[in-house]
Amino acid sequence: MKIFICILVWLSVSLVVSADELKREELKFGVFPYVSAHQIIRNYSSMKYYFEKEVGVSTLILSAKNFADFVAKTENREFDVIFTAPHFALRAEREGSYERLVRIEGMMAAQLVVPESGRIKTLEDLKDVTVFMPDPLAIISVLGKSELSKNTLTEAKDFSFRSIQSHRNILMSIMQKEQTVGFASSIMVESFNKKKKRKLRVLQSSEHIPTAMFMMNAKLSGEMKQRLMTAMEEMKDTPYGNDFFSGMPFSGFQKISDNDMRLLAPYADRLELML
């Protein structure tokens, strides 16, 4: 009798979990706040609709007030799928809370950019200059600070940092000479047209690392994970993919490799010291 009751309880729990997964009302899609909330909604709406069609669940686009808040929300598993900075992705994988989906294709670097006609010609000219960068936890900021430290330049002693939300805003400000120097992603620098790029000069570039990544919550069912993986792999060749990539400075996804994560390890380690 006791065995029979135990089997019934086990079956009941299994059925509840299965029903919860099958009747999931929404997929929480978290995008790290590298641009404004308005831009996130605009840039990722086509992906939201694609998820709803191919994965079969209503999708809610979410973000956070800043990078630290996004890392905390990720740590608390508040999202089902995340589009996140690469060192954030490795941190989430190390914690066992998220698993790999795909990443943006290609590699990127942090580039120190100055006005083409400006007074700064070498790194030595950074003395007493304010260097603009994204959020301090952003991979470009972490890469940039690392690159300057390799050149024996010390924050506070030689220069100071100030944050501006997006890479594009940093580059536009430099181009308009509102700022003297700043770090931005090589992907964003290359996305500028020739006329705009003629007004900018890359003073220094960091090593190249993997780009931003999509990860999925480890607690999702095996079926849901497979549906998400298939959807991401096939998205490029759909109308939703065409719409999505047409507004982005990149043109596809690729598999996240073990080597990608090895390259990111020093920056994920540094992130831990900053949190």
Domains of the chain are 25-107+210-274 (3.40.190.10), 110-207 (3.40.190.10)
pLDDT band at 60 (very low <50, low <70, confident <90, very high): very high
pLDDT of residue 1: 47
Q: What are the start-end ranges of the E strands in the chain?
A: 26-31, 58-62, 81-84, 98-104, 107-108, 110-115, 129-133, 159-163, 181-185, 200-205, 209-210, 213-217, 253-254
pLDDT of residue 172: 85
pTM above 0.75, yes or no: yes
Whole-angstrom Cα distance, residue 83 to residue 85?
7
Least confident of 89-93, 174-178, 200-204: 174-178
Q: Average of pLDDT values for 217-236?
A: 95
pLDDT of residue 156: 60
Q: Average of pLDDT values for 242-250?
A: 88
pLDDT band at 14 (very low <50, low <70, confident <90, very high): very low
Percent of the residues in the chain that have a pLDDT greater than 70, as a whole number: 88
Which one has a higher pLDDT value, 164 or 71?
71
SS3 275: coil
Whole-angstrom Cα distance, residue 209 to residue 105?
11
pLDDT of residue 125: 83
pLDDT of residue 5: 37
